[in-house]
Amino acid sequence: MFEKLKQRWKVNGLNLVLIIATFALGGSLCGYAGRKILMFTGLEKGALWIILYVLLITLLWPICVLLISIPLGQFTFFRKYIVKIWGKISGRNHKTGSKITQIAIFASGAGSNAQQIINHFNASENIKIALVVCNKPGAGVLTIAEKSGNPSLLIEKERFASGDAYLTELAKYKIDFIVLAGFLWKMPVNLIQAYQKKIVNIHPALLPKYGGKGMYGNRVHEAVIAANETQSGITIHYVDEIYDHGEIIFQATCEVAANETAASLAQKIHVLEHANFPRVIAEILQK
């Protein structure tokens, strides 16, 4: 745990100890100050006292921590830390004040595209991967989310297709934009209406050919090879009510060799996906 904190905060062992001490002492000072202030109100301990106490320590915590951080030499760290927390709460870039775009990645499988997207936006100040949504327990993408520190949501089909489509959860995470990265369920109408032109998908072939229900993974590549196509590729498109039908945003191509197999073609497609999907998402969001 301590090694992870050192890496996350980019500090050495001594500074980590001082940071933890600042958290502890600042929290204690905050609690002490809150109780002292409430003593002057004459309130007896009860529901109102607890509510006021919670509000007080919430307001006092940044001040107390900053005060403790000065003699411990951690003022710069905690100033940045508090500003960053405020940015997360307000949903705005703590440096520029501009709104941060919150992305939800929907995926069903191993999550190689999700991993590339997470890596691409990891250092972004204006775009954040706020949630990873998956419909398969044990899918690799859930492990990726856990390792990268991204919240995840496991969904079930009835609520997704016939219920509220988890719009409540998406609102909780303040999701602005949805990326489908190997997500195999059809998007319900109420979700599409709530996020019009804010849902994009990547398809492992050149649409409008080789799209539609059931056309995913090796099925697509086998169909391309069976049709003796000399080219395949990827299509990034907006999502509408019909499978693989929405407006095309970007396409990239690769050669289909004479001796091509579904597995070898899949590798070529993965290269195109990883090279282009994160970049195109960034371009869409910067418009």
Q: Domain check: are 50 and 144 in the same one?
A: no
> Does residue 282 fall inside a structural domain?
yes
| Structural domain count, the chain | 2
Q: Domain check: are 232 and 132 in the same one?
A: yes
> Does residue 95 fall inside a structural domain?
no
Structure tokens at 239: 């999502």
**Model confidence at 225: pLDDT above 60:** yes
**Model confidence at 81: pLDDT above 90:** no
Which tens digit of pLDDT belongs to each residue from 176-214?
999 999 999 999 999 999 999 999 999 999 999 999 888
Residue 215 is given by DSSP the state: -
242-260 average pLDDT score = 94
Annotate 232-249 with b (16+ C-beta within 10 A) or e (fewer).
bbbbbbbbbeebbebeeb
- pLDDT bin (cut points 50, 70, 90) of residue 87 is low
Q: Which residues contact 224 (CB under 8 A, 6 or more apart)?
A: 205, 210, 232, 256, 265
Q: Domain check: are 58 and 171 in the same one?
A: no
87-103 average pLDDT score = 66
Residue 120 falls in the annotated catalytic set: no
State the pLDDT at residue 89: 65
41-60 average pLDDT score = 90
**Model confidence at 234: pLDDT above 60:** yes
> Does residue 96 fall inside a structural domain?
no
Q: Domain check: are 268 and 150 in the same one?
A: yes
Question: pTM for this structure?
Answer: 0.69
Query: What phi and psi, each to the nearest 5 degrees, are found at residue 80?
Result: -65, -40
**Model confidence at 152: pLDDT above 60:** yes
Q: Which long-range contacts (CB under 8 A, 24 or more apart) does 257-265 make?
A: 260/225, 261/225, 262/218, 262/221, 262/222, 262/225, 263/218, 265/221, 265/224, 265/225, 265/232
- pLDDT bin (cut points 50, 70, 90) of residue 88 is low
Distance of alpha carbon 211 from alpha carbon 208, whole angstroms: 6
Instruction: Write the single-letter amino acid at 61.
Output: W
**Model confidence at 6: pLDDT above 80:** no
Choosing from 203, 245, 270, 274, the catalytic residue is 203
The whole domain housing 136 covers 101-286
Distance of alpha carbon 86 from alpha carbon 260, whole angstroms: 53
CB atoms within 10 A of CB 168: 9
**Model confidence at 109: pLDDT above 60:** yes
